[in-house]
Structure formats: C-alpha cells, structure tokens
Amino acid sequence: MLVEHIEIKGRTLLNVPGYDKPVEFGVLTSFAYPLEGELGEIVVATTRVETMLGDTAIAIHPDDPRYNHLHGKYAIHPFNGRKLPIVCDATLVDPKFGSGTVKITPAHDRNDFEVCRGHDLESINIFTDDREINSSGGLEFAGMPRFKAREAVIEALKKKEHYCSYKVFIEVLKVMRCV
C-alpha cells in the first residue's frame, strides 16, 4: 500500500481506503479528563481523539500559572480508570496553544514518545496492524476501524459529559494517507 504525505489547512474531508464516506481531518476536539481527588478537570485538545485510548500522561508547561496546582497530580482516564500522571514539559507544551496542555500517547506520536522516555511513562499500543482498535484500547472499542472508533470515542465522551468542543484547526496539519 502506498502512503501519501499531504498538508491540509482547516477542515478537510479525505477519502480513506476501507471507509464508505470521506473522513474529516483538520479539526481539534477538546475533552476533559477528571482529576484525582476531586480537583476538577483538565482539558486537552487533539486532532486524533481516538488515540486518547492509549494516553498515559498529560503534559503541562512548568511555568504556566493556570496549572501550577497540578504539578505531580493525576488525571483519571474516563474509560478505563487508568491514572495519568501530569508531567511538566517546557519543550512540547505551548501554553498559548489550545488549552495549554498536551495529551501524551507515546505509542502513536514521536514527540510524545520522547516525553515518555524522559518521564519513564508507559507506552500503550492501541492499534492492530490492520488499523483497528485492539484490546488495549478497551473492550468497548476493540475491533473498530480507526476512524469509526474516532466517532465512537466522541460519542462516549459526550455520554460521560467529558466532551468539550470541536474547532477547526487553522494551522497546517501534516497527514499521512494510504492510497
């Protein structure tokens, strides 16, 4: 299978092999992770919400006063109860972008993998070789093709009242697409 690297700006619908309808790219989905100890919640934004199934941490900027009280605390994964450490990272996190936080999914993002190594975090692969969610992604989603899982994760976040918003991503986004 040939992989094409393209750049998109804004909301873009792309045909993806194996899907009946075009898949939406170029949008940020924001959702909240509850914090341990009834400290409230922390909001993250992502263009690949389905990868939250493999999140193992949340990064904040060490100098961001909005999150000083969260240094060394934990968020709780809404689908599996996994404790996600809140780590400080001045390289990856831009406090002026999105919510000023970054969800860390080491098995599916190169930058997140570097954060993982620096903080001794777990790396959880949630995809099969056929791009379906595996059992590590949770039984509720296991066996779903990636982009169908994206829709299912959003619906499940809405049911749990953790879904926050959907916003067009105005920066250039690099996308790999099988053709």
**Average pLDDT of every residue of the chain:** 87
The whole-number average pLDDT for the span 7-13 is 83
- The answer on pLDDT for 8 being more than 70 is yes
Query: What integer pLDDT is reported at residue 15 of this predicted model?
Result: 85
pLDDT tens string 64-123: 999 999 999 999 999 999 999 999 998 888 888 878 899 998 777 677 777 767 778 888
- The answer on pLDDT for 175 being more than 70 is no
What are the helix and strand counts (H, E) for the chain? 2, 11
Residue (of 88, 67, 85, 87) closest to 77 by Cα position: 85
- The answer on pLDDT for 50 being more than 90 is yes
Please list, residue by residue across 124-134, b when 16 or more beta carbons sit within 10 angstroms of its beta carbon and e when fewer do: bebbbeeebbb
CB-based contact 142:125 (threshold 8 Å): no
Q: Distances from the Cα of 138 to the Cαs of 7, 105, 143, 155, 172, in angstroms?
A: 31, 15, 10, 15, 31
d(CA 15, CA 154): 20
The whole-number average pLDDT for the span 141-156 is 96
- The answer on pLDDT for 167 being more than 80 is no
Q: Output the six-digit token pair for 166.
A: 């959907």
pLDDT tens string 19-35: 899 988 888 899 999 99
Q: What is the pTM of this model?
A: 0.87
Query: pLDDT tier at 160 (50, 70, 90 boundaries)?
Result: very high
- The answer on pLDDT for 134 being more than 60 is yes
- The answer on pLDDT for 54 being more than 80 is yes
φ and ψ of 8, to 5 deg: -125, 155
* Residue 36 CB coordination number (10 Å): 13
Query: pLDDT tier at 41 (50, 70, 90 boundaries)?
Result: very high
- The answer on pLDDT for 13 being more than 60 is yes
CB-based contact 24:169 (threshold 8 Å): no
CB-based contact 44:102 (threshold 8 Å): yes
- The answer on pLDDT for 62 being more than 80 is yes
φ and ψ of 42, to 5 deg: -130, 130
